[in-house]
Amino acid sequence: MLFHSIEFVLLFLIVWWPAVFGNSLVRRIALLLASYIFYMWFSVPLVGLLVFSSVLDFLVGRWMYQTDDPARRRIFLLMSLTGNLGMLFLFKYFNFFTGTLNSLSQVFTDQAPIPHYDIILPMGISFYTFQTLSYTIDIYRKQLKPTNSLLTFALYVAFFPQLVAGPIVRARDLIPQLVRGVKFGPNQLRYGLGLFVFGLVKKTVIADNLAVYVDQVFANPAAYSGFEVLVGVYAFAFQIYCDFSGYTDMARGVAFLLGYDIKLNFNFPYFASSVREFWRRWHISLSTWLRDYLYIPLGGNRGARANHLRNIMITMLLGGLWHGANWTFVIWGGIHGIWIVIEHLRRRAIVQPTGWPYVIRAVLTFHGVCLTWIFFRAQSLSEALQMIRQLTAGFDVTHIPVSVGVYILLMLAADVIYAKTSFSQFILRQPLLYWIFIFSGIFTYMIFGNIAGGDFVYFQF
């Protein structure tokens, strides 16, 4: 069920009144039922995994909180880690690891001893698995008290605005909102609607239309000149940005319309002047999760420099693997890790966002990130290498639709205006301009939106 589908609009309209104006019990039941219906639209049987994860971590959290015995607390934490990561491994990584083992085995024995299984990847499993793990780990660290309500916790895990593609919400941020009730008013309504419309345009008008050219180039790079392939890489950079940040905008907008506040997940990442800064701006909920639950426990920047650089590489490699069961994602994460290591070795400071030094570094960072997107988008390592080789093949422009440049420039202009001004607050204070913005966005969606476009890119993760 996509946010811009008729089915979602009907579901939202049905649940909105009891979810906003019902008493505490009615509100949570309505939202949980809507969340399960939303997820079952993708797959009915796989909603059982949501229930399993919810019950497991609800019980583990309570058991862990009720004892001070370090050994028992570690056992309970291990139960949560085993259950959640085991489920993630089985559904997402089993065939990847067995395929790798089979490839190694064939080198020596010419046999593939482990069979391949057709396993359906549950929608959003990487997101809600990390979300529930943050809950049990925070309780283990004594940084969080568990909730006494299974209903509340199940709603935290399955909250439908951000269920299948994030942001990854921490329990300390969302559960108190679910407990204390809705914070709702006219400003909440207007801001939520504005966010949703903005995200809708980014997804259907920019991302889905850019995807048409991107898919053609990546499917057969040999048919395009080097410049056309380069434009395809730029187009994918903005496709994935508008697709994922568009989803986040719509998710946050829906949450605001229901009375809840979900934290920002993107902060103009293509304005970053270093790759370290890029990761502070891109998919913020994942990068902070990896920092808090992987990088720091590994030792962070404590101890010898070699250990610090090792921790960076482990974090980025596993961050790449989180995105998908393919070596291309591991390589993508590894390149970013090497880049961050080099920045640390050079002790390059993040420059202030003014002046030519910032502009030059931002341009260089953007192009470096774009080149790494080739590995992210390619279906295989050979396809990625073919794309890179093709970048030097001439300067023909006949296959590039003018609309590709228009969409990229529109998104850049929108980000510059939004980043450099208090545009959203200005619009909210001007009712006439606000409604012009809303209806212009809806009109743009209806006329230029690729309504037949596919799922959000991050649904596959």
Q: Is the previous residue joined to 167 through a cis bond, with omega within 30 degrees of 0?
A: yes
Choose among 232, 235, 238, 240: nearest CA to 388. Answer: 232
Alpha carbon of residue 312 to chain centroid: 20
CA separation for the pair 233, 230 (Å, rounded)? 5
Sign of CA dihedral 255, 294, 48, 77: negative
Beta carbons within 8 Å of 414's beta carbon, 6+ residues apart: none
Beta carbons within 8 Å of 31's beta carbon, 6+ residues apart: 15, 19, 155, 159, 160, 258
CA separation for the pair 453, 203 (Å, rounded)? 9
Told to judge if 323 belongs to the known catalytic residues of this protein, a careful annotator would answer yes
Write out the two tokens for 292.
Answer: 């808090």
Choose among 94, 157, 154, 99: nearest CA to 125. Answer: 157
CA separation for the pair 296, 301 (Å, rounded)? 8
Choose among 164, 376, 157: nearest CA to 250. Answer: 164
Three-state SS for 49? helix
State the amino acid at position 336 in one-letter form: H
For helices 226-258 and 208-219, give the axis angle rounded to 10 degrees: 140
Catalytic, out of 4, 116, 283, 323: 323
- Give the active site residues: 323
